[in-house]
Amino acid sequence: MAPRKSPPLSEIVRDPRLALMLALGFSSGLPFLLIFSTQSAWLAEAKISNAAIGLMSYAALAFSFKFAWAPIIDKVDPPLLAGWLGRRRGWMLIAQFGVAAGLIGLSFGDPARGLAWNLSFAFLTAFAAATQDVSIDGWRIDAAPAEKQGMMAAVYQLGYRLAMLCAGAGALYIAQFASWKAAYVSMACLTLVGMAGCLLSPRLDAAPKAETTVRNFATSFVEPLSDLFRRYGWTIAVILALVSIYRLPDFVSGVMANPLYIKLGFSKADIATVSKLYGVWIGMAGAFAGGFSVARLGLIPSLLIGGAAAAASHLSLAWLAVQGPQLHWLAVAVSVENFAGSFAGAALIAYMSSLVSPAYAATQYALLSSLYALPGKLVGGLSGFAVDAIGFPRFFASTAMIGIPVVILTLIVWRLTARREREAG
């Protein structure tokens, strides 16, 4: 059978679904930093202990467990909205209202007086945001054929990055010159972008009557896992071990980066400009470099380079902790860490995508992406205790050491993959 001819680039760019995907990508990217990195800066400024800041990051665990309720989004109609919007968009709009409500709730928080309020609304925001991600991914897969998914994903990532600029740099600037309440209310207003994208997007399903059963849910998890074991045998155990710790250094250190900057004396405007504004563009450059490396060097060599570089880049944060509040060293640390981390992220996404079967692509990728984030977020929640015990310089140096098992596991996977290919060929 002759390969399917890809549509011309001009046809793809003219596709109106891309503008909708940009808005939905923005909607997906907006909440994450507001309950993770940006909130940690707020907590650090309120003199909350590093241990408590680390534990607060557990609110983001909803992103790691979204696969648990993803079958509900696929199989069950949303209340009231299914007849009007269909299943995908109905759940999407409910989730977007949940994100807006969570952010408004956070805006009324006062962490210096008590963390319970912030914690509750951070969990609400995270749960709604993770649900939104599931519904947006489902709509994207339904909205375009396979040959256009690459462009849809690229535009989604652009929207996601633009939202990170708003939720990172934008929120910090507003907090610097107005207040944290104004910052979070402003971010809640930006959820209107995603709501507009949801309402303007075409309805792609007829929202048939739900036929969810216990067997449906069991099948949703068991069959995709069985398929992985059938295709890779026990090699999949080593592969899953690699996936689970590959980004562990970044997740562990990420919670403590903003508390470090605040402790050193950098202003919120400094952090916004260097870490959130400049750093995002450096991260984009790293992601493109990772994609180029995958195309030229191959998946596993790029995985090896990215894993080693991302872990080693944390030494730049250790160096910054020793040097003190010098803006040029902040720029160097942000440049090194963001470029290397984004390079590694692009390599890992490409590798995980290569592992899935077309018959179970969405479920298997959701399981893999949850697995790579879960250990880091679990351990990252304890990072504040580590900082209190050994200090920032030693903490960031120790996270760099996690790169050693990452490199060893990558080399083992490389060897097992080469052997499997020889046996198959």
Domains of the chain and any CATH numbers: 15-212 (1.20.1250.20), 218-425 (1.20.1250.20)
Amino acid letter, 364:
Q
Q: Token pair for residue 122?
A: 């951070």
Indicate the helix (H) or strand (E) that contains 185.
helix 180-189
Whether the Cβ atoms of residue 174 and residue 186 lie closer than 8 Å to each other = yes
How many of the other CB atoms lie within 10 Å of CB of 145? 9
Per-residue pLDDT of the chain (425 residues; tens, 9 = 90+): 333 444 444 544 566 777 888 899 899 989 988 988 888 889 988 888 888 888 887 887 888 787 777 777 777 788 888 778 888 889 999 999 999 999 999 999 999 888 889 999 999 999 999 999 888 877 777 776 655 655 666 677 778 888 988 998 899 889 989 999 999 999 999 999 999 999 998 887 654 454 445 555 556 667 777 888 888 888 888 999 999 889 888 887 777 888 899 889 888 888 888 887 888 888 878 877 887 888 788 889 999 999 999 999 999 999 999 988 889 999 999 999 989 988 888 888 778 877 877 666 656 777 787 787 778 777 877 888 888 899 999 999 998 998 899 999 999 999 988 888 777 76
CA torsion 186-191-192-198 (nearest 10°) is: 170
Amino acid letter, 153:
A
CA 255 vs CA 149, 259, 313: distances in Å: 32, 8, 16
SS3 label, residue 48: coil
CA distance 72 to 324: 50
Whether the Cβ atoms of residue 40 and residue 53 lie closer than 8 Å to each other = yes
Q: Token pair for residue 313?
A: 């880049």
Q: Token pair for residue 215?
A: 């067997």
CA distance 340 to 259: 21
CA distance 13 to 283: 24
CA 420-422-425 angle, to 5 degrees, is 105
CA distance 265 to 48: 16
Q: Which residue has the tokens 């996601």?
A: 160
CA distance 396 to 321: 9
DSSP conformational letter for 65:
S
SS3 label, residue 207: coil
pLDDT digits (tens, 9 = 90+) for 377-410: 778 778 888 888 999 999 999 989 988 999 999 9
**pTM of this prediction?**
0.71
CA distance 161 to 271: 17
